[in-house]
């Protein structure tokens, strides 16, 4: 998870921080723990970050003071390090060779090995994230410029990283050789040449934007140009066309969970609109696990596209059976199990008149730990549902993710320790069916080799060399611990 944005505006005096913060609003679903922005006016670089939602951290009181035509922004979902202010991003390093601010989506898997390469070790890191370590290595690297430093350091880095970097003169986007996490390039339309339409920012020349999803381009009136390719560095400077530098050959293995769940349904990935892809997954699910029932209903909001596809293919009417509190966050990315459990009660309310005495097909995108689904089934039964048949538009999650999702050990995953019938019994459903890997691929109409399915089948594109259970807090357990 995590959301990243990088912005370059054409003229000095523009407020790139405002553009970046606006784009970051469209990525709030990717991280709810902290937010921040880094900005440069061509000479000076500074950041502002804090714990909280984007609207709380980057508001109208703070943005006007962040002047400059270059900016990066980040919202955090923690996969390395605790949820403390020091670990909020962007990171900032004012080194003797270069000043850098970095926003990172992903997770490195050789953090201990990289720490051994940092002169001074853990004591030089003010935070306990892999991003902080990477920032220090890049700032220290004896290279001619930031791009040269990246080309020297990144071949030693393993794992998932979609990065936005800011130095005094440039914004730089980077995507790891597997392309685990998404990163797209967009052009901030200005309308002067007649082919882009009126833009929200700028007047006579184009600006550029990097973002985790195309939805962030839409919110600022930018046109999608292309995906940043796996193993590619994209360099953006005011008044110039983007420059591409390849630092490694591509070995594409994009996280398929991005298409199933993480990204917004109005985003595009791998050339696919995600709402349509998820609708197709629901249609495949209806073919694989049909059941006689009165209504098909989604778990709002992420289950809605697949539920629509299930209803369309099965011929069973689609209805909204629960109302979601629009001001609640996503329970899956809450940092603790207790918060996830409380979040379900705050988040969802059943529509009793819709579901009373009905046989329900309840469609959701995934079951991770099982507790959320169990609570939802309980809500529906207490509201009078006669039968509850759960259908999941993803395969069972058997294995932890080491590339940017906070599932560090298999015992956190119900499918790793229970078979389907045992999961059905645990959640209290009358039946349970998961979409197969083949069904996902049929819905996407793309080959297996294009994706990482490791959480479903255990085939990890990048091996993890140390104890998984200690992975998240590795920089808090080595000498030095967490500052403060």
| Complete DSSP assignment for 160-199 | EEEEEEE-SS-EEEEE-TT--S--EEEEE--STTSSS---
Residue among 164, 158, 21 nearest 101 (CA)? 164
Return the residue matching tokens 């898997």: 109
Known active-site residue 2: yes
Q: Which tokens hold the place of 103?
A: 């926003």
CA count, 13 A, side-chain hemisphere, 204: 1
Q: Of 2, 75, 255, 455, which residue is the catalytic one?
A: 2
Q: Which residues touch 20 (CB under 8 Å, ≥6 apart)?
A: 5, 6, 7, 37, 71, 72, 73
SS3 of residue 348 by DSSP: strand
Count other Cβ atoms within 10 Å, centred on residue 216: 28
Tell me 212's DSSP state.
S
Which pair of tokens denotes residue 47?
């950041």
C-beta of residue 420 within 8 angstroms of C-beta of residue 434 = yes
How many CB atoms sit inside 10 A of residue 317's CB?
Answer: 11
Query: What size, in residues, is the chain?
Result: 484
Residues in contact with 37: Cβ distance below 8 Å, sequence separation at least 6, in sequence order: 17, 20, 21, 24, 47, 48, 49, 58, 63, 66, 71, 72, 73, 74, 90
Residues that are catalytic: 2
């Amino acid at each position: 998870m995590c959301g990243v944005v990088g912005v370059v505006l054409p003229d000095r005096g523009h407020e790139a921080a405002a553009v970046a913060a606006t784009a970051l609003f469209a990525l709030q679903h990717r991280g709810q723990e902290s937010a921040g922005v880094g900005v440069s006016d061509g000479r000076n670089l500074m950041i502002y970050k804090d714990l909280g939602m984007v609207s709380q951290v980057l508001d109208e009181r703070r943005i006007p003071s962040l002047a400059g035509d270059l900016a990066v922004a980040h919202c955090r979902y923690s996969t390395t390090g605790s949820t403390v202010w020091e670990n909020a991003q962007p990171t900032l390093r004012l080194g003797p060779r270069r000043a850098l601010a970095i926003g990172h989506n992903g997770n490195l898997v050789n953090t201990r090995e990289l720490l051994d390469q940092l002169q001074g070790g853990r004591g030089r890191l003010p935070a306990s994230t892999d991003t902080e370590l990477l920032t220090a290595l890049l700032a220290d690297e004896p290279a001619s410029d930031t791009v040269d430093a990246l080309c020297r350091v990144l071949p030693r880095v393993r794992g998932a990283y979609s990065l936005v970097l800011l130095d005094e003169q440039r914004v730089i986007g980077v995507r790891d050789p597997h392309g685990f996490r998404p990163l797209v390039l967009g052009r901030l339309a200005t309308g002067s040449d007649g082919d882009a339409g009126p833009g929200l920012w700028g007047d006579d020349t184009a600006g550029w934007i990097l973002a985790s999803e195309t939805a962030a381009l839409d919110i600022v009136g930018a046109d999608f140009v292309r995906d940043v390719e796996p193993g590619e560095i994209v360099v953006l400077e005011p008044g110039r066309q983007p420059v591409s530098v390849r630092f490694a050959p591509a070995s594409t293995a994009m996280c398929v969970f991005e298409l199933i769940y993480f990204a917004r349904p109005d985003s595009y990935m791998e050339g696919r609109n995600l709402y349509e892809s998820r609708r197709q997954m629901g249609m495949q699910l209806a073919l694989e696990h049909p059941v006689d029932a009165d209504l098909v209903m989604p778990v709002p909001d992420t289950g809605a596209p697949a539920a629509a596809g299930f209803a369309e293919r099965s011929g069973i009417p689609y209805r909204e059976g629960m109302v979601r509190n629009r001001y609640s966050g996503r329970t899956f990315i809450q940092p603790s199990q207790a918060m996830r459990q409380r979040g379900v009660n705050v988040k969802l309310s059943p529509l009793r008149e819709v579901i009373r005495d009905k046989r329900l097909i309840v469609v959701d995108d995934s079951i991770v730990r099982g507790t959320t689904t169990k609570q939802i089934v309980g809500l529906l039964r207490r509201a009078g549902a006669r039968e509850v048949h759960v259908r999941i538009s993803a395969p069972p999650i058997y294995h932890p993710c080491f590339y940017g999702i906070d599932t560090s050990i298999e015992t956190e995953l119900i499918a790793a320790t229970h078979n389907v019938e045992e999961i059905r019994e645990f959640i209290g459903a009358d039946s349970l069916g998961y979409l197969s890997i083949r069904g996902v691929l049929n819905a996407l109409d793309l080959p297996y080799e294009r994706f990482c399915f490791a959480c479903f089948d255990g085939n990890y594109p990048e091996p993890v060399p140390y104890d998984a259970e200690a992975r998240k807090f590795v920089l808090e357990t080595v000498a030095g611990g967490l500052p403060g």
